[in-house]
Structure 1
């Protein structure tokens, strides 16, 4: 385990280009190994019985079971890494501010990932049931009596199948190599997510990867030792059951913030800026179609709320499990309140865009014009004739209003100057990082 974390740290220390090259092996090899195991399963005696159970005898009554839908939602969160932040942190490296350099079409990539994941799930299920059919025929029992739970499938059922084959050590090596590569890719995404959070918050730490990465490796290695103890399987069961609730809450909060606070109109314009105007078939089912906006605004939040409630009701009560769920979730409202108080002291809105956001100039320009329109003083009506004393009082009031407005404008200008200084420092740090990466790259 410690060796795996050290390997992951070395990959991340070399930068995203190294991670991109290694990801080719981490993605292609597991698919290839699953296909090999699937072909092997088809050659076993009794594989047809297992495949018939998998494809021809589904239990449609289980569709109305809340447990099935809960497990399906958990599987989606894990297989697509939704709600854990790894997709956001890794995809942020694809965006380029250079208009001549086109960014990848994220909508087409998501469709490809979805299709590949469905194919992998079906092929994995067929591989499992072909091996279970072989075991059922060997034991002369039912397929559903073979495996007690999903954890014993890998460590008991598969090993028993390979023990009946010639050159069994090769098949065992292929199985555990596939598991190792999948775990390695998950560790890379996890560690990169943690490190990118530190780099975004403290840009100067981007040049000090030799400090950030080893600290995270040490902490994660210490936490991983819990699973190596005699009660490690118990801790694994608890974390596996309760960690999906964190992902579902993250999905819910992201959809609500994006569609209702940031605004569906801004999302629509961002998609147009990124992918272009939709045409033909894309008008109905493309990335910028009303179908997806309706899904993000209503269907996805409702499904996330129902899934979160189901997970809370089914998991029962475990002190450590609920602490595991509540601690990460509580960080979101705590820091929201802290930021709201902090921004209120400097007369700024807590719900504001970062300057690195591509749509900052467009949205900020609209907000500034709206503020100027609100702060403009109304013109006096020429029909109303006032006494000299009343005119003097009104002039004093208008002068006070003007001075207050000038003070507020000066505060805003000072704040903007400070933000510009921070942006320049961040830009200088990024330029230094790019120069260091170019030096580290092999010629």
Structure 2
């Protein structure tokens, strides 16, 4: 009977089944005219199976406890008996009859956090995390890093760094958010109030990145507008526009001039007869002289982006005029970001069904088209098929792989921790971490093939080596790729698809950045939670006003500075702070006790090695991650000089601009000592001992639900064994009944 109950448990125990059987009983009495109070046979069966199934589960839960050895029992009681769960929940103010418990006896949710919201399904949560992790860097940063560091050989250090640093830190943040059921501003306070500023530093850093990240979304919207309504493809492939300079060189114009003379080139809006030496030494980045005029030729797509879209000027202090097209698109981007978070994570989860899947569909379409272009094999060979394994032995390669793994997974910024806080405590976040890492790496590698196939096609069209067309960052997305698209058939279609993909990648990542900071505010000030919409509007309004600096002629220079400094030094400090907090202050024993309280103990040899509390996670999180975090910190100081442009139009930023970048980039770190001082003052006002600043707070789940401290041995274990035996005997009697 118990086996039958397990098979039909979802049906038999569902409240709807109880209601249907009750209605059936009432209708049967009405038809037969019977006044008996006894339920029909099905109703009795429902009660019997429910009681039998419950007693079986109770017995199996208690048997699991009694069967564990003494060493494991020291760390955690993996499946507490029903009486232990009831007592633990009652002591913490949780109604034991209305809560579902984790394998370790913790309630799935805290009652005071029910109004925070939750995702409607697991798939929505995973897709939202993928949206947050997979961003523009997967398309425009990873391919160039792979090319510069040995091609396919770069995948070896990248995968190693992702497995030994990125995945463990990501899992640690998911555990912290899910276990404490709080955002970053409160989660770290539950551990040690002295380090509460770590959460606020990550939240402020998340908002700071959103300020300049949203302007990329605005650029993609403007490119799509030009493609659809203004025939933009023809404009960024021609040198005959009003914004073009004398240095503009177009392949189409050069072909026309070559028909007039073998050594003719298009220069200064006309065909110029060049010498043999100059003609044969010509390439895209080569600086040469004509009539004592030294210049570096530029492609039309670069001048379209710099002069028409940005209206940039070659000086940091020359603000110029306000760029209204970018300003309007930026306003729309902030409105879309606000609407996406309007109804909380429920709305965000629904949107992620589109924003997470669409980029993968588009990149698959671009991949199929790119690999069929002439010259695509050249790009693929340079990207993957000609690995330089000697680069693996160089420290620069490992440093590049480590920083990419760190930034690509969006760890240390608070967004992942925030999204995990909306889950139930027993949600398998270790599986989610594996899926997120896999999806992120897949987009990087797969998208890189599509990008380099296109660059190989472009190099063949221009008849230059591929290293002359390889670019990274903004130049790859808004110069190199549009230049290649302009030479394809149906360029408008491919342009719309490409910039639509960038739009979804940028907007979906923006949701994570804003949600991370919004959750900081609402968790710190719970009274504002009913006014979530108003708070979100205020944040977006401030963000839109600050982002307006990118709408001026000097906006691209501010973008370069913020993009290079924000999320570099401060991010390393936050990650190292998290490692110190969990690894050394809190301790691995208590941390993995919490993990096992959420997910249970390893059940076989495989999960003992690679499971959530297995040896792989322990070694990676507590040995390799601290060492590699110091390498990332060193990499944040070892940087090249900031510049904009190239050749004769190269603008190197002065020292005072670098100083501004360091000040802005280090600003989030100031919240760590700030909140330490605030908590010291608050503890003194309340008359609390200052030593409590470095101890667990009563709100911490381990204290609130009285989890056993694995560092204490002896009487605590002995006193617990009789209670287990007594509980086992009582459950056996209930089972026999």
TM exceeding 0.5 = yes
Q: Does the alignment pair 1:192 with 2:515?
A: yes
TM-score with structure 1 length normalisation?
A: 0.77
Q: Does the 8 Å contact 1:256/1:297 carry over to 2?
A: no
Q: Does the alignment pair 1:53 with 2:382?
A: yes
SS at match of 1:166: coil
Q: Does the alignment pair 1:359 with 2:702?
A: yes
Q: Does the 8 Å contact 1:162/1:168 carry over to 2?
A: yes
Equivalent in 84, 91, 102 of residue 413 of structure 2: 84
Q: Does the alignment pair 1:63 with 2:392?
A: yes
Indicate the RMSD between aligned Cα atoms, in angstroms.
2.3
Q: Does the 8 Å contact 1:66/1:310 carry over to 2?
A: no
Cα deviation 1:38-61 (Å, max 9, x = unaligned): 111011001111111112212334
Name the counterpart of 1:234. Answer: 557
Name the counterpart of 2:611. Answer: 286
Distance (Å, rounded) in 2 between the aligned partners of 1:22 and 1:352: 40
Using a 3 Å threshold, how does the CA distance of structure 1 residues 354 and 208 change in structure 2: closer, same or farther? Answer: farther
Q: Does the alignment pair 1:182 with 2:505?
A: yes
Equivalent in 141, 151, 167 of residue 490 of structure 2: 167
Distance (Å, rounded) in 2 between the aligned partners of 1:334 and 1:298: 30
1:255 shift after superposition: 1.2
Q: Does the 8 Å contact 1:26/1:185 carry over to 2?
A: yes
Q: Does the 8 Å contact 1:162/1:172 carry over to 2?
A: yes
| Structure with higher RCO (Cα < 8 A, 6+ apart) | 2
Equivalent in 214, 222, 225 of residue 545 of structure 2: 222
Name the counterpart of 1:108. Answer: 431
1:238 shift after superposition: 1.7
Name the counterpart of 2:688. Answer: 346
Equivalent in 645, 670, 678 of residue 330 of structure 1: 670
Equivalent in 300, 325, 349 of residue 625 of structure 2: 300
Name the counterpart of 2:295. Answer: none
Using a 3 Å threshold, how does the CA distance of structure 1 residues 65 and 314 change in structure 2: closer, same or farther? Answer: farther
Using a 3 Å threshold, how does the CA distance of structure 1 residues 21 and 297 change in structure 2: closer, same or farther? Answer: same
1:224 shift after superposition: 1.6
1:315 shift after superposition: 4.8
TM-score with structure 2 length normalisation?
A: 0.47
Structure 2's unaligned 5+ residue stretches are 1-329, 642-654, 714-737
Equivalent in 575, 581, 584 of residue 257 of structure 1: 581
Using a 3 Å threshold, how does the CA distance of structure 1 residues 222 and 146 change in structure 2: closer, same or farther? Answer: same
Q: Does the 8 Å contact 1:241/1:315 carry over to 2?
A: no
Equivalent in 623, 636, 639 of residue 314 of structure 1: 639
Equivalent in 532, 539, 557 of residue 209 of structure 1: 532
Distance (Å, rounded) in 2 between the aligned partners of 1:2 and 1:219: 12
Deviates more, 1:213-222 or 1:338-347: 338-347
Aligned residues: 364
Higher helix share: 1
Using a 3 Å threshold, how does the CA distance of structure 1 residues 156 and 239 change in structure 2: closer, same or farther? Answer: same
Distance (Å, rounded) in 1 between the aligned partners of 2:708 and 2:375: 68
SS at match of 2:442: helix
1:356 shift after superposition: 4.5
Q: Does the 8 Å contact 1:248/1:307 carry over to 2?
A: yes
Cα deviation 1:16-38 (Å, max 9, x = unaligned): 11100101111100111111111
Q: Does the 8 Å contact 1:77/1:244 carry over to 2?
A: no
1:89 shift after superposition: 0.6
1:363 shift after superposition: 5.4
Q: Does the alignment pair 1:276 with 2:600?
A: yes
Q: Does the 8 Å contact 1:12/1:18 carry over to 2?
A: yes
Name the counterpart of 1:375. Answer: none
Superposed counterparts of 1:25-44, under 5 Å: 25-44=354-373
Distance (Å, rounded) in 2 between the aligned partners of 1:354 and 1:3: 43
1:355 shift after superposition: 4.5
Name the counterpart of 2:339. Answer: 10
Using a 3 Å threshold, how does the CA distance of structure 1 residues 210 and 110 change in structure 2: closer, same or farther? Answer: closer
SS at match of 1:230: coil
Distance (Å, rounded) in 2 between the aligned partners of 1:42 and 1:291: 38
Using a 3 Å threshold, how does the CA distance of structure 1 residues 365 and 307 change in structure 2: closer, same or farther? Answer: closer
Structure 1's unaligned 5+ residue stretches are 97-102, 371-443
Distance (Å, rounded) in 2 between the aligned partners of 1:286 and 1:115: 17
Cα deviation 1:315-365 (Å, max 9, x = unaligned): 566111111222111211332244245435422501243544332335587
1:65 shift after superposition: 4.4
Q: Does the 8 Å contact 2:562/2:665 carry over to 1?
A: no
Using a 3 Å threshold, how does the CA distance of structure 1 residues 147 and 53 change in structure 2: closer, same or farther? Answer: closer
